[in-house]
Amino acid sequence: MIILLKYGANKTDADEIVGQIASMGLKPLYMPGVERTVIGAIGDERVLEKLHLENHPAVERVDKILTPYKLVSRDLYPIDTVVKIGNVPIGGGHFAVIAGPCAVESEEQMLKVAEIVKAHGGNALRGGAFKPRSSPYSFQGLGIEGLKILNKVSKITNLPTVTEVLEVQDVEAVEKYASAFQIGARNMQNFRLLKIVGQSKKPIILKRGLAATVSDLLLAAEYIVSEGNPNVILCERGIRTFETATRNTLDLNAIPYIKKHSHLPVIVDPSHGTGVRDFVEPMTKAAIACGADGVIIEVHNDPKNALSDGYQSLFPEQFASLMKNIRPFIQAANKK
Ligand code: PEP
Ligand code: MN
């Protein structure tokens, strides 16, 4: 349920209502806005009806949240959530470019790529230390060693970092060394992992599963937020369809849909979404045009010799021209 307070309702009114909700065994959420205060109540709605909050003098309206997801729903919280990775805001009018190699391969490689990302105005650095590869014979990542490299390079370049956490046992280490968690497509419905990262305060980029609906993605985000971590950034990275011309089908319909139904920021991964480096720039422009709050892009100092996803990684000069060419699109979308 959402309870919208009247203009001029004060903190004492809000506290009283929050107290009543809690006394019925429901979870109250206090969300003071610039103009109005919204109070959420999570739990059995039939219990709440007994309180007849609609009769409270400070209450304007009591509405049911009809969507299966509640905390991430725009019905509950109408204002765009801004999530910060390090000091980089994502959402609410800020457009962010997160870029870097698919995998951390060495300190030298990571530093070279980070310098490219930084030189051309990238906002944050990506790089996987734990890699979920389709084949067990492919490079699996440097593990903890990779996290330490990422952390060192972050300190040198002053770029915040994003890296995938594959398993519950690695959450602590990733939390220690990176600025944000990435939950990969293959783990989007690993509910135990979602709950554990939900107990952290670090931001989380939650990627859409290969065969997940947008509703599945929003419910996965609900798992994280309901554990107490509101810092979730959703990521459209393409889904499996009958189309095989490209690696995945980048579902840009998801962006305006998510914007309409959720207050969480949403970014696009045109690298995994297409699997073709030449399509990364056009799909980045499309992502900006349809309302995305950022992109996460693979770029490598030497894509031909990359240990993972080299074929879809941008050459440094491609990244440079992408960063220049997207500027008018960001401006046209009224973003910074
Ligand atoms: C990645 O970002 O390198 C990655 C493995 O992404 P996804 O989980 O979307 O496949
Ligand atoms: Mn990759």
Residue 9: which CATH number?
3.30.70.1140
Same domain assignment for residues 38 and 95: no
Same domain assignment for residues 110 and 257: yes
Q: What pLDDT does 49 receive?
A: 87
Is 122 within 8 Å of 284 (Cβ atoms)?
A: no
- Asked whether residue 24 is assigned to any structural domain, the reply reads yes
Most confident of 28-37, 57-66, 112-121: 112-121
Which ligand 1 atom is at minimum distance from the Cα of 237?
9
- Asked whether residue 141 is assigned to any structural domain, the reply reads yes
Same domain assignment for residues 52 and 100: no
- Asked whether residue 173 is assigned to any structural domain, the reply reads yes
CB under 8 Å to 55, separation ≥6 — which residues?
Answer: none
Residue whose CA lies nearest to ligand 1 atom number 1: 102
pTM > 0.75: yes
Write the secondary structure of the chain as one string of H (helix), E (strand) and C (coil): CEEEECCCCCHHHHHHHHHHHHHCCCEEEEEECCCCEEEEEECCHHHHHCCCHHHCCCEEEEECCCCCCCCCECCCCCCCCCEEECCEEEECCECEEEEECCECCCHHHHHHHHHHHHHCCCCEEECECCCCCCCCCCCCCCCHHHHHHHHHHHHHHCCCEEEECCCHHHHHHHHHHCCEEEECHHHCCCHHHHHHHHCCCCCEEEECCCCCCHHHHHHHHHHHHHCCCCCEEEEECCECCCCCCCCCECCCCHHHHHHHHECCCEEECHHHHHCCHHHHHHHHHHHHHCCCCEEEEEECCCHHHCCCCHHHCECHHHHHHHHHHCHHHHHHCCCC
Average pLDDT, the chain: 95
Q: Give the residue-averaged pLDDT of 23-43.
A: 84
Mutate to test the pocket of ligand 1, among 208, 272, 296 (most ligand atoms within 8 A of CB): 272
- Asked whether residue 115 is assigned to any structural domain, the reply reads yes
Same domain assignment for residues 9 and 113: no
Percentage, residues of the chain above pLDDT 70: 99
Percentage, residues of the chain above pLDDT 90: 85
- Asked whether residue 282 is assigned to any structural domain, the reply reads yes
Q: Give the residue-averaged pLDDT of 119-136.
A: 96
Query: Is the pLDDT at 129 greater than 70, yes or no?
Result: yes
Is 42 within 8 Å of 26 (Cβ atoms)?
A: yes
**d(C-alpha 220, C-alpha 120), whole Å:** 34
Same domain assignment for residues 13 and 92: no
Edge-to-edge strand ranges of the sheet holding 27-32: 27-32, 37-42, 2-5, 59-63
CA of 185 to the centre of ligand 1 (A): 6
Mutate to test the pocket of ligand 1, among 269, 274, 308 (most ligand atoms within 8 A of CB): 269
**d(C-alpha 206, C-alpha 188), whole Å:** 7
Token match 């107990």: residue?
199
Q: Give the residue-averaged pLDDT of 39-62.
A: 90
Tell me how many domains the chain contains: 2
Q: By residue range, what is the domain housing residue 175?
A: 83-332
Each residue's pLDDT tens digit, 91-127:
999 999 999 999 999 999 999 999 999 999 999 999 9
- Asked whether residue 74 is assigned to any structural domain, the reply reads no
**d(C-alpha 136, C-alpha 115), whole Å:** 31
Same domain assignment for residues 155 and 243: yes
Q: What pLDDT does 168 receive?
A: 98
Q: Give the residue-averaged pLDDT of 57-79.
A: 89
Q: Give the residue-averaged pLDDT of 209-216.
A: 98
- Using CB distances shorter than 6 Å, the residues near ligand 1 are 102, 128, 132, 184-186, 207, 237, 269, 272
Is 253 within 8 Å of 236 (Cβ atoms)?
A: no
CB under 8 Å to 80, separation ≥6 — which residues?
Answer: 91, 92, 93, 263, 265
Q: What pLDDT does 34 receive?
A: 66
Residue whose CA lies nearest to ligand 1 atom number 6: 184
Which ligand 1 atom is at minimum distance from the Cα of 208?
9
The least confident of 63-77, 123-137, 189-203, 311-325 is: 63-77
Same domain assignment for residues 302 and 209: yes
Each residue's pLDDT tens digit, 179-188:
999 999 999 9
The least confident of 6-15, 270-279, 317-326 is: 6-15
Q: CA 233 → CA 20, 52, 109, 124, 221, distances in Å?
A: 32, 35, 27, 14, 9
Q: What pLDDT does 126 receive?
A: 98
**d(C-alpha 306, C-alpha 141), whole Å:** 12
Same domain assignment for residues 59 and 153: no
Query: Is the pLDDT at 46 greater than 90, yes or no?
Result: no
Query: Is the pLDDT at 172 greater than 80, yes or no?
Result: yes
Same domain assignment for residues 87 and 58: no
Query: Is the pLDDT at 32 greater than 80, yes or no?
Result: no
Ligand nearest to the CA of 306: 2
Q: Give the residue-averaged pLDDT of 72-76.
A: 89
- Asked whether residue 254 is assigned to any structural domain, the reply reads yes
Each residue's pLDDT tens digit, 263-315:
999 999 999 999 999 999 999 999 999 999 999 999 999 999 999 999 999 99
